[in-house]
Each structure stands twice: as structure tokens, then as C-alpha cells.
């Protein structure tokens, strides 16, 4: 089964999937093996690994440690071309479709594609949409693109439909790591009722209840990063998993 098929199965078996973001720049590497084991037991469905900056030079090593301590899929969520590795199960092959910066629409993809192909790494083509989250996030600053205004769901819908017609496999509605406000539920609802692609939602989600509201609005996968970096206790991971798994 491909990783994309595994994600589809998670969605159909559990209602929605809980993806935990591991940013190699923000981890306590000594506790990583134990943390990954506990997070898997507490209901994490897959791990996303990556970051906007990547100051750490231990990307491969971090991926190896994660792989060794979980049987859940380990998926690269790349902030740039340097974040490609054959250790992972797959990579989100992101096109930053909300922006108009050609480097993030096709330039980086052209640089990364031959490497990904040579590694035989599964690429899951994903339309990545930055949504205004109340503060300037690293993703916005680093990509030099403007997010979609949060009170303009129709603009988000038009981008989502373009992604579907282009033939991308998934959408990622992103308020940005550490966003003050997460993607509005009304926008998620409008996108998921108009567009048939599975939708990942992340950025600024801080409570299990908020995560559940996003699933109820139509999200297929929820990503949390910051809140679990701040409080990595397994009981909180379990609460998120329980809120996200509706069946």
C-alpha cells in the first residue's frame, strides 16, 4: 500500500487523521525515541517532518530515529529543497498555490524532482494554501507570498478547485506554525463542500475542541506542531487523537 493509500484508509477507518509535526529545529533529540513511541501509542496517525528554516543539519538522522520508533507513516513536509531524504515513507510535494512566487510554484519543484525520482521516494502532490492567521508566520515570510484573507472563503474555494483540476492529490490549508488564529471553520466548510480533494488543516490549532470543530467542518487531517512542542505529555496527544477520530 502506498503512503497516500494509507492516509486514505486512516480517513475512512477513523473519520479523520491526526498528523503530528516534528520540526528538527525544535526537538529534544535525547527524548525523541521515547516521545515518538508514546505519541504513536496515544493515537498519532502519521508524522510530518520538516520546517521553514532547517537550521539543524540532522534531518536524515531525525527521520531515522522517528522511523525506528513508530510503525505510522513518516512523511516529509519540506520547507525547502534540502529537505529530501530516502529514509521517509513519502514527501508532500507542495505547490504553494495561494502565492504568486514562481520559486514555490515550480522552481523548487524542478530542483527537487530528479532527486525524489532517483530516490524512488513517494511524492504526494499537494496544493498548499496559506491563510491569514493574525500574524506574519515563518511560512509567509520565507516564501515571500501573501496569504489568502481569512474572511474571503470564495478565494480559497477558487484555489482549491484549480488544484483539483490541475490533478493534485491533496490540499493543505495552512494558517502557519504558531498562527494566532487557525483557519476559519467556515472556510474549511466551503472548500470541502465544493472541492473533492482531501483537506489537511494546520497552523495555530491549540485545543482538541478546535481540532474537532475543523473535522466537523470537513477537514480530513489535522496537523499540530507548536502545542505539542510546548506540552508533549501523552495525555494531550491522546485527547487530540480522540477529538479527531470521529469513527
- Interface residue list for ligand 1GP (CB under 6 A): 21, 174, 177-179, 202-205, 223-227
Measuring CA to CA, how many Å separate 202 from each of 33, 41, 55, 161, 172?
24, 22, 22, 19, 8
Q: How far is the CB of 21 from ligand 1GP (least distance, A)?
A: 5
Nearer to ligand 1GP, 184 or 202 (CB): 202
* Rounded Cα distance, 21 and 153, in Å: 26
CB of 246 to ligand 1GP, least distance (A): 20
Closest approach, Cβ 233 to ligand 1GP, in A, equals: 16
Q: Which residues are 166's β-sheet partners?
A: none
Three cell numbers, residue 96: 504553494
Report, in Å, the least distance between residue 64 CB and ligand 1GP: 22
Q: Give the span between the Cα atoms of 161 and 152, in whole angstroms.
A: 15
Q: How many beta carbons lie within 10 A of that of residue 197, not counting itself?
A: 18
Nearer to ligand 1GP, 119 or 178 (CB): 178
Nearer to ligand 1GP, 4 or 221 (CB): 221
Q: Which residue, 114 or 203, has its beta carbon nearer to ligand 1GP?
A: 203
Quote the CA–CA distance of 247 and 47 in Å, as a whole number. Answer: 21
Amino acid at each position: 500500500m502506498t503512503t497516500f493509500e494509507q492516509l486514505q484508509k486512516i480517513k475512512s477507518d477513523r473519520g479523520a487523521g491526526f498528523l503530528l509535526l516534528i520540526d528538527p529545529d525544535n526537538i529534544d533529540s535525547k527524548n525523541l525515541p521515547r516521545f515518538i513511541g508514546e505519541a504513536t501509542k496515544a493515537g498519532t496517525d502519521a508524522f510530518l517532518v520538516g520546517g521553514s528554516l532547517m537550521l539543524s543539519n540532522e534531518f536524515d538522522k531525525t527521520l531515522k530515529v522517528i522511523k525506528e520508533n513508530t510503525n505510522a507513516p513518516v512523511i516529509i513536509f519540506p520547507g525547502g529543497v534540502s529537505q529530501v531524504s530516502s529514509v521517509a515513507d513519502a514527501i508532500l510535494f507542495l505547490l504553494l498555490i495561494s502565492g504568486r512566487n514562481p520559486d514555490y510554484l515550480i522552481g523548487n519543484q524542478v530542483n527537487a524532482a530528479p532527486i525524489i525520482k532517483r530516490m524512488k521516494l513517494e511524492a504526494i502532490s499537494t496544493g498548499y494554501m496559506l491563510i491569514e492567521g493574525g500574524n506574519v508566520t515563518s511560512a509567509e515570510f520565507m516564501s515571500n507570498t501573501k496569504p489568502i484573507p481569512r474572511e474571503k472563503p470564495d478565494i480559497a474555494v477558487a484555489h482549491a478547485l484549480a488544484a483539483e483540476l490541475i490533478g493534485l492529490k491533496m490540499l493543505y490549508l495552512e494558517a502557519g506554525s504558531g498562527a494566532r488564529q487557525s483557519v476559519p471553520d467556515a472556510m474549511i466548510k466551503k472548500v470541502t463542500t465544493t472541492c473533492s480533494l482531501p483537506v489537511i488543516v494546520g497552523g495555530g490549532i491549540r485545543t482538541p475542541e478546535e481540532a474537532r470543530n475543523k473535522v466537523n467542518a470537513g477537514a480530513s487531517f489535522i496537523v499540530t506542531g507548536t502545542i505539542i512542542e510546548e506540552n508533549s505529555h501523552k495525555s494531550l496527544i491522546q485527547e487530540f487523537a480522540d477529538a479527531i477520530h470521529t469513527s
